[in-house]
Chain A
Amino acid sequence: MDRRVTFNHRFLPYFLLAPQVAVTLVFFVWPAGQALFQSTLIEDPFGLSSEFVFLDNFAFVLSDPLYVDSIIVTAIFSVSVAAVALLVALFLAAKADSVISGKLIYRTLLVWPYAVAPAIAGVLFLFMFSPRVGVLSSALTALGVDWNYLLNGNQAMMLVIGASAWKQISYNFLFFLAGMQAMPRSLLEAAAIDGAGPTRRFWTITFPLLMPITFFLLVINMIFAFFETFGVIEAVTQGGPAGATNILVYKVFRDGFVGLDFGSSAAQSVILMAIVISLTVLQFRYVEKKVTY
């Protein structure tokens, strides 16, 4: 006799799923569909006349040699942001985990920046590094650095990477710290008794056990760097100097919301969507295989 509790109602599962499906449809599938549709049109901003041009918008975007430059800039930017944000967060989490007194204070302070919107983070960095009035730029100048990110593309890039990563570090920190605290102490203690030093313990026990979290964060950080960083770019460099920080998502924003060229902007977001989807698939297919849960 079957003692399991079963729900016979045929529609109940669908009903329970409905809210999530509705949210996905309204906030993800519908806008993405709109972008796809818009990317095949050339339209005036007011929507008074529109013409179906099939793939012309894509041809227009991809035939621009600067678009390819922008892809390279985006790759450098995104990899750097993810790398910096992950490494620094891992370091801070390891340190915060081993702190004995004042744990709560460190943790709270390290989490704060996550509450800061990217555009505000950009403005903060702008103030600190502004060539004329910035506190840190005078320090750099005093150290003999010719600091002028308004004309030096590499400096501009470092600045926007710093501002974007700074914000994301807190988020990563939370996950790493939680992961470390969930780790069975007995394993680490056993290793310590066997004579493994802190560094060895970290690399042979802590880090491998953190792999699933690291993988998750890698995906999230890449998506963050690709999509959510235009506020930093807008506040700090507007894509300059000479396109050195013109990342794809900023170009989407600029062409669509400032230039009012919806067709080209939509085509760019479709391309961006394709890039991020394939990156995520790649990460799951290849990187995830190396992750042991």
Chain B
Amino acid sequence: MYVRRTMVAAAALLAFGASSAIAQDRTTINWWHAMGGANGERIDAIAKAFNDSQDNYEVVALNRGTYAETMNASIAAFRAKEQPHIVQVFEVGTLTMMSAEGAIKPVFELMAENGKDFAPSSFLAAVTGYYTNDEGQMLSFPFNSSTPVLYYNKDVFRAAGLDPDTPPKTWPEVGQMMTQVVESGAANCGLTTAWPSWVQLENFSARHDQAFADKGNGFGGLDTQLTLNGPAQVKHIQALADWQSNGVFKYGGRRNVSAPLFTGGECAMFTESSAGLGGVRANASFDFGVAQLPYWPEVISEPKNTIIGGASLWVLEGHSDAEYAGVADFFEFLSSSGVQAAWHQASGYLPITPAAFTVSQISGYYGRNPGADVSIFQMLSGEPSGNSKGLRLGSFVQIRDVIEEELEAVFAGDKTAQEGLDAAAERGNDLLRRFESANK
């Protein structure tokens, strides 16, 4: 225990400088997260603000690498009984955490035990849906959520003779505008995408009210089967593949490595996370706009909300009541609209409480930052259906790998969209069965 304290204190020293070496008589709360760069600095600032606001607890925020590395490190730490109190887990790891009964302390329970008011209704419904159990109780604390939107290059639109203030609403319009952009020579590519599976299949399905998997996208049980090879999805992926072979769409790789294609001015449009706004703002040397994710009017006349990506905070078992009291205090602090609004504005993640949205509206943030509220309206558009509540699938990290492999085969012209998505569903189902057998 002493050694651990010392190590934590040493880490705190490294992270915050000598000023917070007073950790001795405070209870330490370890928070492992995956935020690097500017967002990592924001997290340090949040921890510092909490530490300065009271004398009992010291929140020590530590970056543990990528999302996958952070989750891995926490699991390894749990197995070695050295787990942190709070860990940030990405949304595809949600079911793994939920299934780990005995390793996690549900957040609703933690808050109730410590007499904190914690109503799911104070968060956006589309966000809480992801992290609640069947009884509607919150198992984790929503932290950073984002949703994909369409970024477009207004300078290129002008050069192509398009109205820079009328971004495309539908995919057929995207098709026409891409062609016009390329044919006019305003840019040599019309569209590229980040996060291919998340944007073009997962969010596509939610927006078009199509099931991505049966049993309510996996919310209804582990025996779910993928249905991502439905006619609407096949039509969309085939359209992208056709545009790829015409040269108006350019596949730019997995994750968001395609970002330079847009920010460098090569592609006129870019589907990317709303949390990518900061990056686009920093790297684009042109006038850009943000629009909602397009839809196919022949599939749905009024598109549904999109679903979230990002991460939530999980509390791990095995700590003392006094420490949990500190975690509860910290979560109460995190929920406050001031902290939420500041985090939303600095990071580009969604304001996950309506109060944070209101604070940002009143402060005139959206007036100064056009496009920053597009994602929120998109999240609130339409009446949410069972297909737009979110996804709850096991082995989802590998399933995404499988989907993106198959998409690459389709975009390279080696498979048709139907063949690729059929193969993705079949291979993904094997992984789902495997998760089911490991979590009986």
Contacts and interface: CB of A to CB of B under 8 A. Distances in A.
B422 interface: no
Given A48-B101, A153-B412, A242-B409, A132 B434 contact: no
Interface residues of A, number: 35
B430 A254 contact: no
Interface of A: 42-49, 51, 60, 64, 66, 130, 132-133, 150-153, 238-243, 246, 254-255, 257-261, 263-264
B409 A42 contact: no
B99 A44 contact: yes
A254 B408 contact: no
A242 B414 contact: yes
Nearest to A63: B430
A87 to B, nearest CB: 30
Contacts of B124: none
B261 A132 contact: yes
Nearest to A41: B438
A152 B78 CA distance: 41
Interface string B79-106: 1000000000000000010011111000
A48 B100 contact: yes
A243 to B, nearest CB: 5
B395 interface: yes
Contacts of A241: 405, 408-409, 412
A48 B102 contact: yes
A68 to B, nearest CB: 14
A159 to B, nearest CB: 13
Looking at chain B, what size class is its interface with the partner chain? 35 or more
Interface majority SS on B: helix, strand, loop or mixed?
helix
Given A51-B440, A240-B408, A258-B68, 18 more contacts: A44-B96, A44-B438, A45-B96, A45-B100, A46-B100, A48-B100, A48-B101, A51-B437, A132-B260, A132-B264, A150-B251, A239-B405, A240-B254, A241-B408, A255-B398, A261-B395, A261-B434, A264-B434
A153 B79 CA distance: 39
Interface in B241-275: 251-254, 260-261, 264, 266
Interface string B400-434: 01001110110110100000000000010010001
Contact of A257 (B68, B405, B409, B430): B68
Contacts of A43: 438
A189 B253 CA distance: 57
7 contacts: A44-B100, A51-B438, A132-B252, A239-B405, A240-B253, A242-B414, A254-B398
Contacts of B79: 46-47
- Pairs A-B, 10 closest by C-beta atoms: A241-B408, A242-B409, A46-B103, A242-B408, A259-B398, A151-B412, A258-B68, A150-B253, A46-B100, A132-B260
B404 A240 contact: yes
A46 B79 CA distance: 6
A35 B96 CA distance: 22
- Among B68, B266, B408, the most chain A Cβ lie within 10 Å of the Cβ of B408
Contact of A133 (B260, B406, B411): B260
A246 B409 CA distance: 14
Contacts of B75: 45-46, 260
Contact of A261 (B253, B398, B409, B411): B398
B72 A243 contact: no
Contact of B430 (A47, A64, A243): A64
Nearest to B93: A260
Contacts of A49: 439-440
Contacts of A133: 260, 264
Nearest to A126: B257
